[in-house]
A = this chain, B = another copy of it.
Amino acid sequence: MVARKLLGGLALAAALALSPAMADDTPFKAHEFTLANGMQVVVIPDHRAPVVTHQVWFKTGSADDPRDVGGIAHFFEHLMFRGTPKHPDGEFDEIVKMNGGVNNANTYFDRTVYYERVAKDRLPMMMELDADRMANLIIDDKVVTSERQVILEERNSRTDNEPSALFWEQMSAALFQASTYGSPVIGWRREIEGLTTEEARTFYNANYGPNNAILVVAGDVTVDEVKKLAEQYYGVLPARTLIPRIRPLEPPPRAARRVAMKDPKVGVPNFMRLYLAPSYTSDKNDEAYALEVLAYILSGAGDSSRLGLAIVKRDGIATSVGAFYDGGGIDDRMFGLYGSPAAGKTLADVEGALDTELAKFLAEGPTADELSRAKTVLVANAIYARDDQESMANYYGEGLTYGQSIAELEAWPDKIQAVTAEQVKAVANAYLRPERSVSGTLEPGEAPAATPAGGQP
Contact = CB atoms under 8 A, between A and B. Distances in A.
Contacts of A189: 251-252
Contacts of A448: 252-255, 433, 435-436
Contact of A456 (B183, B190, B254, B282): B282
A12 interface: no
A85 interface: no
11 contacts: A70-B178, A170-B177, A252-B450, A254-B448, A255-B448, A261-B435, A278-B456, A284-B453, A430-B454, A431-B452, A435-B448
Contacts of A246: 67-68
Given A68-B246, A174-B174, 20 more contacts: A67-B180, A167-B255, A170-B254, A173-B177, A177-B182, A189-B251, A191-B248, A249-B457, A252-B448, A253-B448, A254-B448, A255-B260, A257-B260, A277-B455, A284-B455, A285-B454, A287-B454, A332-B455, A435-B449, A436-B448
Interface string A416-432: 00000000000100110
Q: How many copies does the complex hold?
A: 2
A233 interface: no
Contacts of A67: 66-67, 180, 246, 248
Given A174-B257, A258-B258, A448-B435, A251 B190 contact: yes
A377 interface: no
Interface string A228-258: 0000000000000000001111111111111
A38 to B, nearest CB: 24
B435 A254 contact: no
- Interface SS of A by simple majority: loop
Interface of A: 66-68, 70, 166-167, 169-170, 173-174, 177-178, 180, 182-183, 188-191, 246-261, 276-278, 282-285, 287, 331-332, 427, 430-431, 433-436, 440, 448-457
Contacts of A182: 177
Contact of A257 (B258, B284, B427): B258
A316 to B, nearest CB: 28
Contact of A254 (B183, B256, B261): B261
A178 B174 contact: no
Pick the most buried of A178, A182, A260, A449: most chain B CB atoms within 10 A of its CB: A178
Contacts of A434: 260
Contacts of A252: 189, 448, 450-451
A183 B177 CA distance: 8
Given A68-B248, A188-B251, A254-B448, A454 B259 contact: no
B456 A433 contact: no
A257 B254 contact: no
Contacts of A188: 178, 251
Nearest to A287: B454
A332 B253 contact: no
The 4 closest A-B pairs by CB, nearest first: A258-B258, A435-B448, A255-B261, A430-B452
